[in-house]
Amino acid sequence: MGLCTSKPSPNPSFPPVSRNTPIHPRNKDIHHKSSSVPASPLPDVVNGNHNHKHNLDQAKGTEEKESSNSNNEGKKSPFFPFYSPSPAHYLFSKKSPARSSANSTPKRFFRKPFPPPSPAKHIRAVLARRHGSVKPNESAIQEGSEADGDGAAGATGAGLDKSFGFSKHFGSKYELGEEVGRGHFGYTCAAKFKKGELKGQQVAVKVIPKAKMTTAIAIEDVRREVKILRALSGHNNLVQFYDAYEDHDNVYIVMEFCEGGELLDRILSRGGKYTEDDAKDVMIQILNVVSFCHLQGVVHRDLKPENFLFTSKDENSQLKAIDFGLSDFVKPDERLNDIVGSAYYVAPEVLHRSYSTEADVWSIGVIAYILLCGSRPFWARTESGIFRAVLKADPSFDEAPWPALSSEARDFVKRLLNKDPRKRLTAAQALSHPWIKNYNDVKVPLDILIFKLMKAYLRSSSLRKAALRALSKTLTVDELFYLKEQFALLEPNKNGTISLENIKMALMKNATDAMKESRIPEFLASLSALQYRRMDFDEFCAAALSVHQLEALDRWEQHARCAYELFEKDGNRAIVIDELASELGLSPSVPVHAVLHDWIRHTDGKLSFLGFIKLLHGVSSRTFAKAQ
């Protein structure tokens, strides 16, 4: 829910409707929560001849028509070059690969695989809604699309404990003002301090009626949102949280008042897109706050332009992240499995029910694409169509203005929108990308990814460590930049080495209460191998480089060939199949001979190039199962 008071012009001008007219269809939230707010998403090109009436029968008909079209192989969609069945049945019929988490949200269960699809809205409908002539929740997916199986009890919330333990003195401290935003589960009002040093200072208050909390999930979402806002304190690009209150009827979340409006409105006021330099400025602020959240073990799960507000109407005002209603705590080696977020910004792995912080970076990639060209990378008339596009389609970089933009800008967005989360940049890595790293002396923050990679390295065989060392020697200056920044943040001693103590100190320096909730300190125990030894920069590069991310580069094969040549000179040795299986920690029950046979040269018994590549990735039993 937006915390801004910006209001559109009372007399908007409507562009003529045509096939090539940019429109702003309503944002499609996969799961509506207490803080969602109706807001127009972003410009895109579609057929302007839409029926705007929203009801479930029509939506169902649209879905059936789309499904029947998918069987018509001879036709081409005017919107997508492919037809494929909705991912819903596949996604929900297979067992989730994600491990359950004791501290994550309960799994959402829908009466239908996805909430009913809703037709995209033309800009006239969007602007009318934003001007108040349409009821705010008119086109929202109904609350009934999510259920916890309680039937009638679930509809009223009967029997649920709606006591949060918050202060009950809201009325004595704040004077509630006019409503400035409304969502499906609540609304936002301006308010003022009644007394004390802050008397008269304006704040934003998110009001969540307890009557809307009809499921245990809805109650837990509110409880967790407050916990995360309270824990993530002190970052310049995070909305300031003051306190949470409750009474018999409502929960009140008091936050900083941001009068500059949504990033979405700022984009629209600029004609739908930014210059590269202005886009960099926005991206740096978004990446900074998201990398901060990820280091603390918090994944936002609903990043979109509507959830970033400017503190003032000044062109250079600060950007603040808001709306942590869908956020969750996640351990570094943990996966989440509930499908939440907003359809246009949801990552492919979220639809596959196995994701972590990388899903936020995908959403940032969508925002970056929009900032630079004024259109969404994935679009469809229905939510199921959007999901198919996210899973199957590739964003276009051939149409204007992309050819006129810098190659670094295109590469930046492509690396954020990689469908494989292992190959996607982290938020901290994105800040070290050539497109951004030299802009206004940007600082690269500590990245939790290096600790995950170091953990895997320390558990690797000596042969794999040698392979990784060879690969690290092929890195370019740009690729080494991120690793140098991370190593410096660990504050090595005068000899240029780090130990487990350096890692602990670096994390403590950046720690908030959220880090305790995500159990990152427990994860550090897996790095105990560093307790009695030190690591220099060369070994750190081998330990902290991501093979999967290097694989995403156009020059990957060149890297791999050069690394193999180095490995041949210093590291490769004769090895028998059983020894290699033991080196890789494979179970004796795994039939490895058929697979490993191609990994070892017949001439001298050493690793082949294929074996070298497999060794770099590490091997799991799944690899062998696929190969049989």
Rounded CA-CA distance 147/109 in Å is 6
Rounded CA-CA distance 240/253 in Å is 11
Distant-in-sequence, close-in-space partners of 58: CB < 8 Å, separation ≥ 6: 51, 119
* CA dihedral (455, 338, 419, 140) positive or negative: negative
Strands (E), 151-217: 174-182, 187-193, 202-209
Determine if residue 504 is labeled as part of a ligand binding site.
no
Instruction: For 56-105, give the DSSP string.
Output: HHHHHHHHHHHHHHTT-TT---SS-S-----HHHHHHHSPPSSPP-TTSP
> What CA–CA distances, in Å, run from 586 to 548, 592, 602, 613, 621?
21, 8, 22, 17, 7
Cα angle 340, 346, 351 (rounded to 5 degrees) comes to 70
Instruction: Please identify every residue annotated as catalytic.
Output: 302
In the numeric block, the tokens 């040269």 are attached to 601
**Phi, psi at 393, each rounded to 5°:** -85, 155
Rounded CA-CA distance 603/418 in Å is 39
What letter would DSSP give residue 159? T
The rounded Cα 336 to chain-centroid distance in angstroms is 12
* CA dihedral (486, 492, 494, 497) positive or negative: negative
Instruction: Identify the helix (H) or strand (E) that includes residue 497.
Output: strand 497-498
Distant-in-sequence, close-in-space partners of 213: CB < 8 Å, separation ≥ 6: 34, 157, 160, 162, 185, 219, 222
The amino acid at residue 115 is: P
Rounded CA-CA distance 206/243 in Å is 11
The rounded Cα 144 to chain-centroid distance in angstroms is 26
**Contact (Cβ atoms closer than 8 angstroms) between residue 108 and residue 221:** no
Binding-site residue numbers for ATP are 206
Binding-site residue numbers are 206
